[in-house]
Amino acid sequence: MPDKKQLHLTAFMRPVSLHTGAWRYPGAYPDANFNLKHLISFIQSLEAAKFDAFFMADHLAVLNMPLEALKRSHTVTSFEPFTLLSALSQVTTHIGLAATASTTYDEPYHIARRFASLDHLSGGRAAWNIVTTGNPESSKNFGRDEHVEHGERYKRAREFYDVVTGLWDSFADDAFPRDPESGVYVDPEKIHVLNHKGDELSVKGPLNIARPVQGWPVIVQAGQSEPGRQLAAETAETVFCGPRDIEAAKALYQDIKGRAEAVGRNPNHLKILPAALVIIGDSVEDAQEKRLKLDSLVHYDSAISSLSIALGTDASKYDPDAPLPKDIPETNASKTSREGVINLAAKEGLTVRQLASRLGGYSGLAFVGTPETVADEFEQWLNEEAADGFTITFPFLPEGLENVTKRLIPELQRRGVFRKDYEGTTLREHLGLPRPKNRFFT
Amino acid sequence: MPDKKQLHLTAFMRPVSLHTGAWRYPGAYPDANFNLKHLISFIQSLEAAKFDAFFMADHLAVLNMPLEALKRSHTVTSFEPFTLLSALSQVTTHIGLAATASTTYDEPYHIARRFASLDHLSGGRAAWNIVTTGNPESSKNFGRDEHVEHGERYKRAREFYDVVTGLWDSFADDAFPRDPESGVYVDPEKIHVLNHKGDELSVKGPLNIARPVQGWPVIVQAGQSEPGRQLAAETAETVFCGPRDIEAAKALYQDIKGRAEAVGRNPNHLKILPAALVIIGDSVEDAQEKRLKLDSLVHYDSAISSLSIALGTDASKYDPDAPLPKDIPETNASKTSREGVINLAAKEGLTVRQLASRLGGYSGLAFVGTPETVADEFEQWLNEEAADGFTITFPFLPEGLENVTKRLIPELQRRGVFRKDYEGTTLREHLGLPRPKNRFFT
């Protein structure tokens, strides 16, 4: 048992970097999001550094940016998460494999099955990032003209979670005697038929796959809106959130852990892992210069589209050199994102162009410094209960990733706040999470 | 160019053997359908034998057999095909990877994306077995009380195919310049927005993944009913059918190839690969004894459930030692299966018990003999235009599979009717199929 609190670290891949300029950075692999060889090298580096998990984000559409602006973006197209993570499960042995899957435009039977299968294939390393789909373009790829409204999406998500976890519990852990002598393969007394009939979903069951190795794959949540926080408190085991600074992070940490306790959960079984861009340099100035160089590679076309996505409205119609207008219309796009952008513009007095450039690169929480200064900050966040670890996104790859795995991680290990080797073989073991009991069988 | 007509061979896995007694056969791995290690050894043996493809069948429910009868069945639960084949793509280099995916209870955007991703991950080895879901239990796992009616399913399947192939053509093959200098990642002139609005489906597009390596993954079809044959003739590139003997196979071969020509297709670009159980022995008698031993491992519980599934009605209510009653009700289950069973019972004058035992094991086309006698039969089918090859199901594993890969295959290679090495790297190259042109870009 280590004597210091331990950090948990996951790598957030979309599918490589979230930063729009990343593919143009010197030494980057422009084709990395379609070249499996590169993704294999990234995940193997992360596993060698003992990361908890590799986290594949997702969208169900080409994002709603103008076609002309699309041309700058390397995040438009990539592998689909289930297929990618299943492939990566065979070139790794320990690192967790987290996939985003939407509750808005998919079926709980499919989702339950694919995660259970990934968990079996990987020996207990799967995690499900439960999202509702807030991109209005997605609805049009799934037969709907109108996007599903925000509250409705969360209502369905909550029920979807109940159905998926219920399906995972279809079979007792010891349901399969597989005895060639008697000819009994499965014990029918140890199969539960769910027979779920709710407001949103009707699913009979049982699932046609044995209970996952981990009981349930680890549940990940990202929402920060009111229904998003409540859903996280009730269901999540790791929360991937985006506080703007340590004070906001502490408030969010207290809020979500408090809500979890209020619904009878052990708050230690919910890990808060804020998303953060990490840039490591030889000095703080060197790291800051790398960030400036990276941001300079974002074209205004991309910048303005990112702003349009965040606001849920076409921002190219605004005067680039004037402040953001006051009358941004409310839409069905993510409320959290829209409000964050409006607050950022007001707080820092940014013009549309300045705001767009920030968003077009990466506008969220960032740690920019040396291995020592970033490790100091990580320890502070950990010890002051602002975070249980981080969901790290890399500025550019392979260099930015290697700076983390080969320079920051050894510093964290030296300080005794990050593992030198995996404690177990499943993602639940890495995260210190219990294996859920089967609700239908003891 | 080989001077003899060449056989194409795919391995039909569900997920191991279709034969209900297979897991009890001496030397079998009872847990093979959940033990990836065994599946890896099977696919690597098949690749070493130069099989065209590994074909993972699928169901969207635990089959509608009584719970008490379920207990005998090893086919109830296994890995999900997309996740399994993606994992297997990383432990193989050439063999094709065919997955069944239903058009009845899934969305074309998801299906198009997952197959495109599998095709990219595997370097051009994916195939899509287009099915409509005929198991009435499946509807209840997808929010419907009533099963979708047979004609309606085929109407949706046809339109679903148009949408999926249209989405695969979202990007021109040269859509991605990825030029770090100019900052142009994708050429917006080379992106097509599908904007499909049909009777059954409404899908905007574009797909958020580059065009598959093969242009389109290979299209596989299994239907034998009237709408199934027509769908195959219009869309399939390999047909996995179940004729009862060589005469029926010739008729089916002519019919489907004729229908393909009638709609303007090159009949050589549609390969007919009947499903067949293959049992190889030291002598014909030895092979027949193996089959009898295998059938003896099927319990009557399983046998009678198989009959119930095939008929779409509970057969356990019939007198086991009397002929099949005349008044079997029509249901929404597969018509082909129901009619085949009724005809088989009438033709051979079987009692309910005899019929059930046949169905509980494997009642379809079987080749049972020595490497020489089975190779003779394969050559006859090939040369008399009854088949372009076979979709082989193994009676038990590993022995039954190794008897094919290590004894039958070398005999076929010696005769010059099966490849000694792969001609290319993609499944289309193995099958001699052209890469489809992009309908939106030249």
> What percentage of chain A has pLDDT greater than the value 90?
67
- The CATH code for residues B8-278+365-431 is 3.20.20.30
For residue B141, what is the nearest residue in chain A, using CA coordinates?
A203
> What percentage of chain A has pLDDT greater than the value 70?
97
- CB of B302 within 8 A of CB of B72? yes
Whole-complex ipTM: 0.92
Cβ-in-10-Å burial (0-12, 13-18, 19+) of A250 comes to middle
Please tell me which residue, B307 or B382, carries the higher pLDDT value: B382
Rounded Cα–Cα distance for residues A53 and A47 (Å): 8
Please list every residue in chain A whose beta carbon sits closer than 8 Å to the beta carbon of residue B137: 204
Q: Is residue A326 predicted with pLDDT exceeding 90?
A: no
Report the pLDDT value the prediction gives residue A265, as an integer from 0 to 100: 97
Rounded Cα–Cα distance for residues A235 and A245 (Å): 25
Q: Is residue B2 predicted with pLDDT exceeding 80?
A: no
Top residue of A37, A77, A171 to mutate, by most chain B CBs within 10 Å, is A77
Rounded Cα–Cα distance for residues B245 and B396 (Å): 23
Please list every residue in chain B whose beta carbon sits closer than 8 Å to the beta carbon of residue A142: 107, 109, 203
C-alpha distance from residue B346 to each of A297, B315, B327, B354, B365 (Å): 75, 16, 13, 12, 18
CATH class of the structural domain A8-280+364-431: alpha beta
Residues A117, B201: C-beta atoms closer than 8 Å: no
* Per-position DSSP letters for A220-271, written without gaps between them: EE---SHHHHHHHHHH-SEE----SSHHHHHHHHHHHHHHHHHTT--GGGSE
Please list every residue in chain B whose beta carbon sits closer than 8 Å to the beta carbon of residue A34: 120, 176, 210
Report the pLDDT value the prediction gives residue B68, as an integer from 0 to 100: 61
Predicted confidence band at A205 (pLDDT cuts at 50, 70, 90)?
very high
- CB of B359 within 8 A of CB of B341? yes
Cβ neighbours of residue A434 closer than 8 Å, sequence gap 6 or more: A269, A428
Please tell me which residue, B51 or B337, carries the higher pLDDT value: B51
Predicted confidence band at A217 (pLDDT cuts at 50, 70, 90)?
very high
Report the pLDDT value the prediction gives residue B66, as an integer from 0 to 100: 65
Cβ-Cβ contacts under 8 Å between A and B: the total is: 211
Report the pLDDT value the prediction gives residue B261, as an integer from 0 to 100: 97
Q: Is residue B167 predicted with pLDDT exceeding 70?
A: yes
Please tell me which residue, B68 or A81, carries the higher pLDDT value: A81
Please state the rounded mean pLDDT for residues B401-425.
98
Please tell me which residue, B156 or A147, carries the higher pLDDT value: B156
For residue A209, what is the nearest residue in chain B, using CA coordinates?
B77
Please tell me which residue, B219 or B225, carries the higher pLDDT value: B219
Phi-psi region at B375: left, alpha or beta (left = phi > 0; alpha = psi -120 to 50)? alpha
Report the pLDDT value the prediction gives residue A166, as an integer from 0 to 100: 98
Please tell me which residue, A211 or B339, carries the higher pLDDT value: A211
Report the pLDDT value the prediction gives residue B224, as an integer from 0 to 100: 78
Retrieve residue A95's tokens. Answer: 């690192």
Rounded Cα–Cα distance for residues A157 and B55 (Å): 34
Report the pLDDT value the prediction gives residue A348, as an integer from 0 to 100: 75
Please list every residue in chain B whose beta carbon sits closer than 8 Å to the beta carbon of residue A80: 113-114, 116-117, 209
- Chain A: give the shortest CA distance to residue B187, in Å: 6
Predicted confidence band at A134 (pLDDT cuts at 50, 70, 90)?
confident
Half-sphere exposure in the Cβ direction for B106 (13 Å, CA): 24
Retrieve residue A65's tokens. Answer: 């940016």
Q: Is residue B331 predicted with pLDDT exceeding 60?
A: yes
A71, A82, A185 ranked by CB distance to B188: nearest:
A71
The amino acid that residue A405 corresponds to is T
Range in A174-178, A313-317, A425-429, B378-382 with the lowest mean pLDDT? A313-317
Please state the rounded mean pLDDT for residues A357-383.
93
Please tell me which residue, B336 or A166, carries the higher pLDDT value: A166
Residues B83, A121: C-beta atoms closer than 8 Å: yes
Residues B86, A91: C-beta atoms closer than 8 Å: no
Q: Is residue B1 predicted with pLDDT exceeding 70?
A: no
The three-state secondary structure class of B356 is: helix
Residues B114, A208: C-beta atoms closer than 8 Å: no
Report the pLDDT value the prediction gives residue A73, as an integer from 0 to 100: 81
Report the pLDDT value the prediction gives residue B164, as an integer from 0 to 100: 98
Please state the rounded mean pLDDT for residues B168-180.
95
Cβ neighbours of residue B370 closer than 8 Å, sequence gap 6 or more: B280, B281, B282, B283, B284, B287
Q: Is residue A431 predicted with pLDDT exceeding 60?
A: yes
Domain boundaries, chain B: 8-278+365-431
Report the pLDDT value the prediction gives residue B21, as an integer from 0 to 100: 85
Question: Over the stretch B57-80, which tens digit does the pLDDT of each residue have?
Answer: 888 888 666 666 688 888 778 999
Top residue of B25, B36, B77 to mutate, by most chain A CBs within 10 Å, is B77
Retrieve residue A175's tokens. Answer: 């349901």
Helix axes A108-121, A81-88, angle to 10 degrees: 10
- Chain B: give the shortest CA distance to residue A220, in Å: 20
Rounded Cα–Cα distance for residues B189 and A71 (Å): 9
Report the pLDDT value the prediction gives residue A329, as an integer from 0 to 100: 83
Please state the rounded mean pLDDT for residues A232-253.
94
- Per the prediction, chain A carries an average pLDDT of 92
For residue B107, what is the nearest residue in chain A, using CA coordinates?
A142
C-alpha distance from residue A152 to each of A104, A131, A157, A236, A311 (Å): 9, 13, 9, 19, 20
Range in A63-67, A280-284, B230-234 with the lowest mean pLDDT? A63-67
Please list every residue in chain B whose beta carbon sits closer than 8 Å to the beta carbon of residue A28: 180
Top residue of B36, B208, B209 to mutate, by most chain A CBs within 10 Å, is B208
For residue B140, what is the nearest residue in chain A, using CA coordinates?
A204
Predicted confidence band at A1 (pLDDT cuts at 50, 70, 90)?
low
Question: Over the stretch B370-395, which tens digit does the pLDDT of each residue have?
Answer: 999 999 999 999 999 999 999 999 99
Nearest of B356, B369, B365, B340 to residue B298 by alpha carbon? B356
Cβ neighbours of residue A89 closer than 8 Å, sequence gap 6 or more: A97, A118, A121, A122, A125, B87
Q: Is residue B341 predicted with pLDDT exceeding 60?
A: yes
Please state the rounded mean pLDDT for residues A373-396.
97
